[in-house]
Copies of this chain bind each other. A is one copy, B any other.
């Protein structure tokens, strides 16, 4: 891990990230003035469950997963974050600033760190920042509710079909797009073993889904919806 200063390009990425939309510009500036950047190799552990966390983290580049580990090396992904996504926010807001899960880089990644004390202080001064954080938490909550409901209501095939429908481009005809990460990462995100994802893809072939590497073609969305 290397620590760097925030350059103007990174700053640009941050200013445009969803967390800061609607926040007073001077608040954003004060948040970013205390920020620094860390650089990680693929596979690096960013933090461990139970460790103290002292910054709000935003992905500038790369990919991060947040996960819990269970017995015998089993792991469960709680979230996967890419450029512009915020993570580690919970540790900041609850009294104990303790990570509830592990964080790991899945690709070479650049992470911006915003000082927690400054963030807390600004929360108390500027309600526009407060609303932005609440918005973030609500979105996160909604994503988790979706994951939990999908896990409990859908089969593996259905979860994959559901994911494809939500992530493929608009439009009626056949569409094609690229997965934003490795299939094994998608499998983890969906709560599946990689083998199960693979089997789901080959099952969905008969519903007009063609997979070539990371490129997915969906020929008939209607058929997918009925999977």
- Give chain A's interface residues, CB within 8 Å of chain B: 68-71, 74-76, 78, 90, 93-94, 100-101, 123-125, 127, 130-131, 133-135, 137-142, 144-145, 147-149, 151-154, 191
Contact = CB atoms under 8 A, between A and B. Distances in A.
Please give me the 3 A-B residue pairs with the lowest Cβ-Cβ distance, nearest first.
Answer: A70-B153, A76-B152, A137-B137
A131 B123 contact: yes
A93 B134 contact: yes
A132 to B, nearest CB: 11
A191 B134 CA distance: 28
A133 B135 CA distance: 11
Contacts of A68: 145, 149, 153
A128 B151 CA distance: 36
A47 to B, nearest CB: 15
B131 A134 contact: no
A137 to B, nearest CB: 4
